[in-house]
Amino acid sequence: MVLSAGKPRQQHDFVKLPKTDLHVHLEGTLEPEMLFRLAGRNHISLPWKNPEMLHEACKFRDLSGFLAIYYKGCEVLVTEQDFYDLTRAYLERAASDGVVHTEFFFNPQVFCGNKISLEGIMRGVFSAVHDMRERISCLYMGTVMRTRPVEEALRTLNELAPWYDRIAAFGMGGAENGNPPSRFKRYFEACRERGFRICVHAGEEGPAEYVREAVELGVDRIDHGNAAVHDPALMKILAEKQIPLTMCPISNLRLNLIRDLGEHPLKRMLSRGICVTINSDDPAYFLGYASDNWEAVQRALDLTPAEVLQLALNGVEACFLPEAEKIKLRNDVKTAFPGAPGMADPIVERTARKDQDGFSPLSEMD
Ligand code: ADE
Ligand code: ZN
């Protein structure tokens, strides 16, 4: 596979589906070409000679192997302009990929060793969000590393206080095994006390028990949540409470958490009434933006038109926008599927025919 910068990997038909991307790490949108450009601009030496070598290094064995490269990549981001460029490039790419609303994570802890103030970082990020406001709706989520002490997570939460009015939620990521959500109870309680939504990566490489802990912490969303499929009682709870899972199928494949997308639990969980959504995670490293994930999953799991519609609507239910804005998004999705829920619309019927005659969904929408 060849790396390409600045646009979705493929111009397939899911680009035209109005969709959300609710689980994407801004740092994970750093395309190799930009990474090398910023390294040159900031005089930073890298362990790879060129983007192709970085690409070779991106055949990950597991989550920790990926994170080592991901954190290395973050070292090239040192000026306000760098953060502006990164954010703007992601938002432009997402908008042309048919993402109508994105909620992205950003972890300030990663940058405390770089020579830039938090003010500079946040100015760069929010200027790009502002400049792109006509093209894409966007919410920002702070996140912290589960491999660092809870006190540091609390410090990060406090340091972000000047921007609280612009932050929708707080989360937690990083190497999961051995770092259960319950260890961060104080952090999540503090986020809640300050009025934020909370979400946590759980059940990505870790066990179903970590997903259960996340539920017990009262999270608003679970990032990944795959392991819950092994625990029928937990699946029932997720469905009853309608706690959304922001799943990232291509990420799971690239991190060897599944051998094949056909094994992905997304469809089984959807059939149990769980609010499953499709997202990109770290698209520059995993070679898959939002529509690539939709297309890959549709192909591998043979999703029906009703399931595609349900997944798109789940993205709206799961997002952190106010209800008034959700109404508009819901309408946008339903306009792409005007026959729903009766499925009488020709676009939806064509989706169903895909496997028989090679026709792809939504291709004749414009
Ligand atoms: N940070 C960035 N990507 C991540 C992932 N897939 N899992 C956990 N933490 C992350
Ligand atoms: Zn993630």
Give pLDDT tens digits for 29-43: 999 999 999 999 999
Cβ–Cβ under 8 Å, residues 306 and 349:
no
Q: Does the Cβ of 281 fall within 6 Å of ligand 1?
A: yes
Ligand nearest to the CA of 30: 1
Place 337 in a pLDDT band, splitting at 50, 70 and 90.
Answer: confident
The confidence score (pLDDT) of residue 112 equals 78
Q: What is the distance in angstroms between the CA of the first residue and the CA of the last residue of the chain?
A: 29
Q: Does the Cβ of 205 fall within 6 Å of ligand 1?
A: no
The confidence score (pLDDT) of residue 10 equals 53
Cα 173 to ligand 1 centroid, rounded to whole Å: 5
Q: Does the Cβ of 171 fall within 6 Å of ligand 1?
A: no
pLDDT digit string, tens, across residues 227-247:
999 999 999 999 999 999 999
pLDDT digit string, tens, across residues 142-181:
999 999 999 999 999 999 999 999 999 999 999 999 999 9
The confidence score (pLDDT) of residue 36 equals 98
Cα 231 to ligand 2 centroid, rounded to whole Å: 22
Ligand 1 probe mutation, 61, 64, 67, most atoms within 8 A of CB: 67
Of the residues 75, 204, 213, 295, only one is catalytic, namely 204
Q: Identify the CA nearest to 152 among candidates 121, 202, 112, 200.
A: 112
Strands (E), the chain: 19-25, 99-106, 137-145, 167-173, 197-202, 221-224, 245-247, 276-278
Cα 111 to ligand 1 centroid, rounded to whole Å: 16
Cα 191 to ligand 1 centroid, rounded to whole Å: 20
The confidence score (pLDDT) of residue 76 equals 96
Cβ–Cβ under 8 Å, residues 118 and 142:
no
In order of 59, 73, 116, 175, 349, the CA distances from 76 in angstroms are 21, 6, 11, 22, 47
A 10 A CB-CB count for 318 gives 24
The confidence score (pLDDT) of residue 5 equals 36
Q: Is residue 295 among the annotated active site residues? A: no
For the chain, list the domains and their CATH numbers: 13-345 (3.20.20.140)
Cα angle 111, 203, 60; round to 5: 60
The confidence score (pLDDT) of residue 38 equals 98
pLDDT digit string, tens, across residues 126-138:
999 999 999 999 9
The confidence score (pLDDT) of residue 7 equals 43
Rounded average pLDDT over 3-22: 70
The confidence score (pLDDT) of residue 248 equals 98
Whether the CA torsion 135, 138, 108, 74 is positive or negative: it is negative
